[in-house]
């Protein structure tokens, strides 16, 4: 068992998301940094879709009440197990009674914003509509359909079981960097209403830096930059949308839909951050700036291939570690 010791709100149980319930009005939810979750699960030998704890507010503290292997991925947050400092993107062994503390994300301008705490076997919560992700609106999935709070007790499927620990990865932020003029960037495919914006606005969108405002969370990132002006007002009928869609409300300041986005909307759509880059956005801290890169369909598909190739390399590396003889021959 693992007991949450901090009152830090907004930590949630997430897997790769709830796919296939859009027709009932149910969005996908799921990890904001899906690559950190996938890598953490690979490091532990978990199912690819095992659930982990996503931590966006620090410090965050919990106590292991049973021996349990875990992997920390996502933001490097100066973690400690009791007093011992822990490497990020690494598999560790906790013993019953030990306390894990996640501090503030570090790394200067390169820092992330969300840590993924992956547990051996995954967080043991019931699957609801095919997923263990927390669906806040409607209050189901995850841990009791809500964010974690002090005193909550979670169980890891693989607690008490032996698991190879003591190895790690180079994080994807270093292996797959993407920047424009030194500013973190994401690639965007133009969406339906893109041609309906003034040419100057379209140019400004690609050329400018966009600040992620404090009104940004798992539902969406509200950006601040040069306002995007439509040639004429556009009225949309309600239609399906997905995480990554960049909507432009009347203010002209865009909103990027994130993993907790509702599955339909009616604002004009400027573009969509491609799925292959959503993990980058999931790690972008509030107050930081991002750039957008226009991409073609073929470039977007190639970007997804690159992510999958990275995960394949991780899988092969982990297989090597897990199959090598154990030092000390336990």
Binding site for another protein (CB under 8 A): 19-27, 128-129, 135, 137-141, 189-196, 230-232, 234-245, 262-264, 269, 271-276, 294-301, 304
Q: What does the angle CA 82 – CA 87 – CA 89 come to, to the nearest 5 degrees?
A: 125
Q: Which is nearer to another protein, 1 or 192 (CB)?
A: 192
Say if strands 245-247 and 269-273 run parallel, antiparallel, or are unpaired.
Answer: antiparallel
Give CA–CA dist 295/274, Å, rounded. Answer: 9
Residue 119 backbone dihedrals phi, psi, to 5 degrees: -115, 150
Task: Strands of 26-102 (E only): list them.
Answer: 52-55, 60-64, 68-74, 80-81, 84-85, 90-94, 99-102
Q: Which is nearer to another protein, 74 or 141 (CB)?
A: 141
Q: Which is nearer to another protein, 42 or 300 (CB)?
A: 300
Q: Least distance to another protein from the beta carbon of 319, Å?
A: 24
Q: Least distance to another protein from the beta carbon of 230, Å?
A: 7
Return the axis-axis angle of helices 34-44 and 297-323, rounded to nearest 10°. Answer: 20
**Burial track 196-235 (b if 16+ CB lie within 10 A, e otherwise):** bbeeebbebbeeebbbbeeebebbbbbbebbebebeeeee
Q: Least distance to another protein from the beta carbon of 301, Å?
A: 6
Q: Which is nearer to another protein, 169 or 281 (CB)?
A: 281
Q: Least distance to another protein from the beta carbon of 275, Å?
A: 5
Q: What does the angle CA 90 – CA 93 – CA 94 come to, to the nearest 5 degrees?
A: 125
Q: Least distance to another protein from the beta carbon of 250, Å?
A: 9
Q: Which is nearer to another protein, 124 or 275 (CB)?
A: 275
Q: Which is nearer to another protein, 24 or 84 (CB)?
A: 24
């Amino acid at each position: 068992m693992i007991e949450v010791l901090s009152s830090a709100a907004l930590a949630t149980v997430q897997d790769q998301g709830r796919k296939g319930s859009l027709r009932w009005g149910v969005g996908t939810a799921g990890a904001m940094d899906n690559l950190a979750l996938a890598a953490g699960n690979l490091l532990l030998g978990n199912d690819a879709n095992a659930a982990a704890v996503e931590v966006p507010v620090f410090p965050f503290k919990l106590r292991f009440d049973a021996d349990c292997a875990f992997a920390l991925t996502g933001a490097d947050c100066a973690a400690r197990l009791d007093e011992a400092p822990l490497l990020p993107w690494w598999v560790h062994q906790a013993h019953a009674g030990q306390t894990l503390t996640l501090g503030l994300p570090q790394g200067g301008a390169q820092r992330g914003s969300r840590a993924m705490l992956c547990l051996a076997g995954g967080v043991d919560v019931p699957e609801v509509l095919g997923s263990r992700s927390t669906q806040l609106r409607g209050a189901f999935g995850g841990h009791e359909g809500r964010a974690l709070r002090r005193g909550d007790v979670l169980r890891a499927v693989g607690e008490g079981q032996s698991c190879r620990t003591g190895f790690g990865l180079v994080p994807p932020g270093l292996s797959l960097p993407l920047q424009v003029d030194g500013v973190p960037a994401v690639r965007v495919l133009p969406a339906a209403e893109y041609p309906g914006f003034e040419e100057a606005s379209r140019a400004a969108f690609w050329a400018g830096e966009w600040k992620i405002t404090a009104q940004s969370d798992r539902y969406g990132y509200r950006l601040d930059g040069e306002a995007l002006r439509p040639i004429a007002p556009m009225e949309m009928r309600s239609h399906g949308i997905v995480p990554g869609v960049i909507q432009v409300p009347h203010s002209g300041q865009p909103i990027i839909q994130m993993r907790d986005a509702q599955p339909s909307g009616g604002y004009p759509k400027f573009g969509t951050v491609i799925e292959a880059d959503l993990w980058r956005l999931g790690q972008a801290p509030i107050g930081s700036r991002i750039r957008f890169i226009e991409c073609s369909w073929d470039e977007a598909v190639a970007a997804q291939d690159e992510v999958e190739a990275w995960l394949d390399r991780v899988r092969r590396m982990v297989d090597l570690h897990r199959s090598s003889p154990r030092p000390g021959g336990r």
